[in-house]
């Protein structure tokens, strides 16, 4: 049975820890990303140190972690960051070249046949109303896209600062993460069984989230690259590779790739290609919602597909990007603690004393009836 800590020092430790978390809350996202990357790097570096027989040498851990981090930056993150920045600039230039009045006329040409169909069904909508709605829709869409891209470009200094915090957290958590967890977690959770469940379930959820994201991103990148190549979009392979990394971001995902390709097709007069890329955007988003729960099947605290979908969507809506991990983690912890309670209650039920024996029923009277084992002696008649 759990007992609250009685030491005043423990209460002050918990209070100071809570205050520190509140101070660093505005940097929770870059620190969280750095912690996850550090945990992944720590596992790989530890495995390599075990093979080299250098696990007890901290300098080797620092050197291998630095090499791993530098290689990841040069081979993955730096090219992707440059590609994303260049792609945003290309989208801004593309939006500046598009004649949005022609876009409104195009929407109107598509909408007029629909008005005739609706008129046969008794729904009367005037062409002037359609023209006004089309102009309003195109103007609002252009304003939304332009403000989003402009804010993305204007927030570059803040993004650079958060990237530096992520890199520092990545290196620190990769080199001292195990010692930090061994020092802090027992003081926060002074119950060994609870701490063991939290550690195992958290590690398992993080691993399953990473594997699922890699598989889903590969499928989405393939689904985006094939139509880009077919439609002849410039730098199609680069956009396809960028879609792989953008698909890790919840909600946003591959929308910049599909949207940028649709706008390029529209600017080149390929209306069918623009519609096709819009359909691809819808299909890719649907695949994300279907495949990610299927790939995130945990072996110890397995959740059904329904609850994984609920955990992912609700977690992202509640916690943002970190909800990709926090949502499934909450449900997985519920299952893990439920299993632990079942395992704890089963031995206690087996150790219960047996029920008292029932009193024996009174034997029937045998007077006047011969005993079956001692039959009466037969008398010889003379």
Assess contact for 74 and 212: CB atoms under 8 A: no
Judge whether residue 378 has pLDDT over 60. Answer: no
Judge whether residue 12 has pLDDT over 80. Answer: yes
Work out the percent of the chain whose per-residue pLDDT is above 70. Answer: 67
Assess contact for 137 and 107: CB atoms under 8 A: yes
Q: What is the mean pLDDT of residues 119-136?
A: 61
**What is the pLDDT, as a whole number, of residue 248?**
77
**What is the pLDDT, as a whole number, of residue 239?**
81
**Comparing 287 with 88, which gets the higher pLDDT?**
287
Assess contact for 225 and 258: CB atoms under 8 A: no
Judge whether residue 380 has pLDDT over 70. Answer: no
By three-state DSSP, how is residue 362 classified? Answer: coil
User: 322-351, pLDDT tens digit by residue?
Assistant: 788 888 888 888 888 888 888 877 665 555
**What is the pLDDT, as a whole number, of residue 379?**
46
Q: What is the mean pLDDT of residues 19-32?
A: 87
Assess contact for 209 and 225: CB atoms under 8 A: no
Backbone torsions φ then ψ of 238, nearest 5 degrees: -65, -45
Sign, CA dihedral 306-308-311-316, equals negative
Q: What is the residue whose two structure tokens read 């139509």?
A: 227
Range scoring the smallest mean pLDDT among 129-143, 179-193, 194-208, 258-272: 129-143
CB-based contacts of 89-95 (< 8 A; 24+ apart in sequence): 89/153, 90/260, 91/145, 91/149, 91/256, 91/259, 91/260, 91/263, 92/146, 92/149, 92/150, 92/153, 94/260, 94/263, 94/264, 94/267, 95/142, 95/145, 95/146, 95/149, 95/263
Q: What is the residue whose two structure tokens read 């060994």?
A: 192
Assess contact for 253 and 288: CB atoms under 8 A: yes
User: 150-163, pLDDT tens digit by residue?
Assistant: 555 555 677 788 88
Rounded to the nearest 10°, the torsion over CA 170, 172, 177, 181 is -110
Assess contact for 197 and 336: CB atoms under 8 A: yes
Rounded to the nearest 10°, the torsion over CA 247, 250, 252, 255 is 40
User: 174-184, pLDDT tens digit by residue?
Assistant: 999 888 888 88
**What is the pLDDT, as a whole number, of residue 323?**
82
Q: What is the mean pLDDT of residues 30-36?
A: 87
User: 347-369, pLDDT tens digit by residue?
Assistant: 655 555 665 666 555 555 555 55
């Amino acid at each position: 049975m759990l007992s609250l800590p009685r030491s005043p020092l423990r209460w002050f430790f918990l209070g100071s820890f809570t205050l520190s978390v509140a101070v660093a809350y505005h940097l929770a996202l870059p620190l969280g990303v750095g912690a996850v990357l550090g945990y992944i790097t720590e596992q790989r570096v530890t495995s390599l140190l075990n093979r080299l027989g250098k696990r007890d040498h901290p300098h080797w851990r620092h050197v291998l972690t630095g090499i791993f981090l530098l290689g990841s930056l040069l081979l993955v993150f730096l090219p992707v960051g440059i590609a994303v920045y260049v792609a945003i600039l290309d989208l801004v230039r593309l939006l500046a070249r598009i004649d949005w009045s022609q876009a409104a006329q195009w929407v109107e040409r598509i909408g007029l046949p629909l008005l005739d169909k609706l008129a046969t069904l008794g729904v009367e909508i005037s062409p002037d109303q359609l023209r006004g709605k089309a102009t309003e829709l195109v103007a609002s869409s252009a304003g939304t896209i332009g403000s989003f891209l402009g804010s993305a470009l204007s927030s570059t200094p803040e993004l650079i600062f958060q990237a530096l915090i992520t890199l520092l957290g990545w290196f620190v958590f990769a080199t001292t993460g195990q010692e930090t967890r061994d020092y802090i977690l027992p003081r926060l959770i002074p119950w060994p069984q609870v701490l063991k469940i939290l550690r195992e379930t958290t590690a398992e959820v993080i691993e399953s989230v990473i594997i699922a994201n890699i598989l889903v991103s590969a499928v989405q990148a393939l689904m985006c690259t094939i139509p880009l190549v077919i439609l002849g979009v410039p730098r199609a392979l680069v956009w396809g590779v960028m879609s792989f990394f953008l698909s890790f971001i919840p909600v946003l995902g591959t929308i910049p790739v599909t949207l940028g390709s649709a706008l390029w097709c529209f600017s080149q007069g390929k209306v069918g290609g623009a519609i096709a890329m819009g359909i691809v955007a819808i299909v890719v988003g649907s695949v994300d919602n279907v495949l990610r729960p299927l790939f995130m099947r945990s072996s110890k605290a397995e959740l059904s597909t329904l609850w994984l979908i609920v955990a992912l969507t609700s977690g992202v809506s509640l916690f943002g990007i970190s909800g990709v991990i926090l949502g499934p983690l909450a449900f997985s912890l519920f299952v893990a603690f439920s299993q632990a309670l079942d395992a704890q209650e089963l031995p206690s039920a087996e150790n219960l004393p047996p029920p008292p024996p029932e009193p024996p029923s009174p034997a029937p009277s045998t007077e006047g009836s011969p005993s079956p084992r001692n039959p009466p002696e037969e008398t010889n008649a003379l």
